[in-house]
Amino acid sequence: MTSHDVQFADLDGVRNALADADYLADAGIAGIVYLAERLGKPILVEGPAGTGKTQLAKSVSEITGSRLIRLQCYEGLDESKALYEWNYKKQLLRIQTEGSDAAWNDVEDDLFSEDFLLTRPLLEAIRAEDRVVLLIDEVDRVEVETEALLLEILSEYQVSIPELGTVEATQVPMVFLTSNGTRELSEALKRRCLYLYIDYPDLERERQIVTAKVPGIDANLADQIARIVRSIRQLDLKKDPSVSETLDWARTLVLLGVKQINAEVATETANVLLKYRTDIEKAVKEFADNPDELADSAS
């Protein structure tokens, strides 16, 4: 029988603990984490790339003292890489060392034992005896068949291995599934999870994130950065700057000793914040056409 230990006494406890781990969660994020932990349900976290979806799972792992097990999803991911597979090379060596006189039944029983089992992230999380946070990252990149496998495991928290039998979880891990929204996930998987959408932060929260995550930055520069990034996201870009790219830009400016951002500084460092040539060109034009906005952000 699976069970789970309650970690958080209340909603404020979640929010304060995440803040202590430098993850600035709003009430919506903290509320979903609290409910998921209480109900023993997975969280499906959707939103643009670089908005802190993966970091949320890492931070929850940190504040709960749990081991983080990560399954990075990709096109072509199958059961052998997500769940388990047999160590065929080791099995072959076992057969060769046994010689031709050995009875096959005896050899077969040995071949399909724990010694020859290669545990992948999903099975590792199911079998774990210590506290675990399971991160299934970018689940929207896998095929429908693999998504069905995830659904089966998250519904029962058990795995059937034909040669060994059914492996049942002794505890329910906290599970985070992240998605960048590149394809629509099945209704069945969504029903199994609590849903959380993490968008780009508002101005004040992004300023707080920059202040918390970038050592040595002063409040005025952090405010300038948050305001300029917010204005850039209003442009018609191929890819808006993510929070992680905002932090990279902030670290770059601190490293360069910048105290006040002007058009020249913004233009010279735009390639840290933006990763497409056309986006950089649009931003640079904006800096040149509207220098007053940069000045206003520094005031």
pLDDT in tens, 186-206: 999 999 999 999 999 999 999
DSSP, collapsed to helix, strand or coil, labels residue 1 as coil
CA 62 to mean position of chain CA atoms = 13
Whole-model pTM? 0.84
**What proportions of the chain, in percent to the nearest 5, are helix, strand and coil?**
55, 15, 35
Residues 93-98 have a mean pLDDT of 72
pLDDT at 8: 79
Distance CA 249, CA 252 (A): 5
Give the residues across from 195 on adjacent strands.
44
39, 102 in Cβ contact below 8 A?
no
Q: What is the per-residue pLDDT across 204-255, written as a single tens digit (0 to 9) for each? A: 999 999 999 999 999 999 999 999 999 999 999 999 999 999 999 999 999 9
43, 61 in Cβ contact below 8 A?
no
DSSP, collapsed to helix, strand or coil, labels residue 217 as coil
Query: For the chain, how many residues are written?
Result: 299
Mean pLDDT (the chain) is 88
Distance CA 137, CA 178 (A): 5
Beta-carbon count within 10 A of 236 CB: 7
Percent of all residues in the chain with a pLDDT value above 70, rounded to a whole number: 90
